[in-house]
Structure 1
């Protein structure tokens, strides 16, 4: 795998980790504060699932690099990723 691809996969993972660390205390408190439905996952699940999701977002970026509509796709990708992080920061901070 090329170094560029490692960076494309790693960037959302690092960004998500930073945002996760910044919001972790408030997110845990919120999760415990609200009554959860019986099908709600345990809070420990999020530490496993979110890194996997951010890794898959990075893999999606590699796929975008090979796309014919790369410019439009990159704009959509960055917008989605930015809003994802911003939403967490606004909600939990």
Structure 2
């Protein structure tokens, strides 16, 4: 039996700032992870491609406010930084 992926541990190297901000990024990253795992069966960020995160930002957040989309964009950029990729996302 394998352990579930720990998103908080994964992001710990790139998270800075106040506690509430770090918790928001972890919470949003878990939501992104769950949606991608549900849609493409990609459980960990290392299995993701840019199209997976772009799909989430475009389709799953289309009915959300501009502020909410912006905060998810910041989380997606943190995920890309942690993965060491050169992915760029825009709203």
TM range (shorter): 0.3 to 0.5
Task: Find the structure with the greater CA-based Rg.
Answer: 1
Bigger helix share: 1
Bigger relative CO (Cα 8 Å, ≥ 6 apart): 1
Q: TM-score, normalised by structure 2?
A: 0.32
Q: TM-score, normalised by structure 1?
A: 0.32
